[in-house]
């Protein structure tokens, strides 16, 4: 059995480093299980080429924080194009990562009483936006988007600043890249780092893998 960790992809090499770090940590925890990395967009190798080059059962784990277009459409299409007939695609990993987001906020200088804006990439898929809203609700945060959806992070920050609040931005992004770079200019008092190769990310990938293994055994 092989695990394929699928990330969005970014032109920023630091993003690829984070994905490879997560894959290495998963590989170490799983012992002899093969773990490969693929990208849904922007970077190579893509999902089709990675999955198509594998033998035996494959578990594809989308390293995404919400189930938007890439998770629901792009990744399944790329798997179908690979011609591999023994693939299970898990749910994305986002729902398990709130503790990591809180930790990154504290590291950045969040103070009790700060207003928080959850900065997400954005999506045209209302189901993905609902995922983000659910996370923000648990975090007690306002939602702001870097692209595609509204309000923007800058708009959400400005609205809170207009009420005299000190504002911390929580990065609902897995790895560094263009989207996270944009957060430096939104006017917040504190901007947390992306989640990165946090132990919670590794745990979430492992959970999805074990869920898929149970499915394969039942099937």
- The 3-state DSSP class for residue 159 equals helix
Position 216 scores a pLDDT of 65
What parts of the chain have a pLDDT lower than 70?
Answer: 216-219
Element (H, E) at 105: helix 98-108
Residue 213: what pLDDT?
Answer: 84
pLDDT of residue 26: 96
Sheet holding 34-39, edge to edge: 34-39, 2-7, 58-62, 87-89
CB 154 within 8 A of CB 186: yes
Close Cβ partners of 48 (under 8 Å, ≥ 6 residues apart): 78, 79, 81, 82
Please report the pLDDT score of residue 218 as a whole number. 45
State residue 6's pLDDT score: 95
Task: Tell me the C-alpha to C-alpha distance, in Å, between residue 218 and each of 87, 89, 212.
Answer: 14, 15, 10
pLDDT for residue 94: 84
What distance in Å separates the CA atoms of residue 195 and residue 215, rounded to the nearest whole number? Answer: 29
67, 61, 73, 69: which is closest to 22 by C-alpha?
Answer: 61
Buried-state track 79-88, b at ≥16 Cβ within 10 A, e below 16: beebebeebb
Q: Give the separation between CA 195 and CA 181, rounded to whole angstroms.
A: 14
Strand 167-172: give its sheet, edge to edge. 142-145, 115-120, 167-172, 190-191
Q: Which candidate, 146, 131, 128, places its Cα nearest to that of 191?
A: 146
Look at residue 10 in the predicted model and tell me its pLDDT.
79
pTM for the predicted model, two decimal places: 0.88
Q: Find all residues with CB under 8 Å of 91, minimum gap 6, and list them.
A: 62, 67, 208
pLDDT for 126 equals 87
Predicted pLDDT of residue 42: 79
Strand partners, 168: 116, 190
Query: For residue 91, what are the CA distances in angstroms to 7, 66, 149, 155?
Result: 13, 9, 22, 31
pLDDT value of position 208:
94
The confidence score (pLDDT) of residue 217 equals 59
């Amino acid at each position: 059995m092989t695990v394929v960790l699928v990330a969005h992809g970014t032109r920023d090499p630091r993003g690829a480093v984070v994905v490879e770090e997560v894959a290495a940590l998963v590989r170490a925890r799983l012992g002899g299980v093969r773990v490969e990395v693929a990208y849904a967009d922007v970077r190579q190798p893509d999902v089709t080429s990675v999955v198509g080059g594998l033998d035996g059962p494959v578990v594809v784990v989308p390293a995404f924080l919400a189930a938007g277009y890439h998770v629901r459409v792009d990744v399944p299409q790329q798997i179908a194009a690979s011609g591999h007939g023994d693939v299970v695609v898990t749910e994305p990993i986002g729902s398990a990562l709130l503790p990591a987001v809180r930790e990154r906020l504290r590291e950045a200088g969040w103070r009790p009483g700060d207003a928080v804006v959850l900065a997400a990439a954005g999506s045209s898929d209302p189901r993905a936006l609902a995922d983000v809203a659910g996370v923000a609700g648990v975090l007690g945060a306002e939602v702001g988007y870097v692209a595609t959806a509204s309000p923007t992070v800058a708009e959400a920050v400005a609205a809170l600043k207009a009420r005299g609040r000190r504002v911390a931005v929580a990065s609902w992004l897995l790895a560094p890249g263009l989207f996270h770079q944009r957060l430096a200019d939104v006017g917040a008092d504190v901007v947390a780092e992306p989640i990165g190769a946090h132990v919670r990310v590794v745990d979430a990938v492992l959970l999805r893998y074990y869920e898929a293994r149970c499915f394969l055994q039942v099937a």
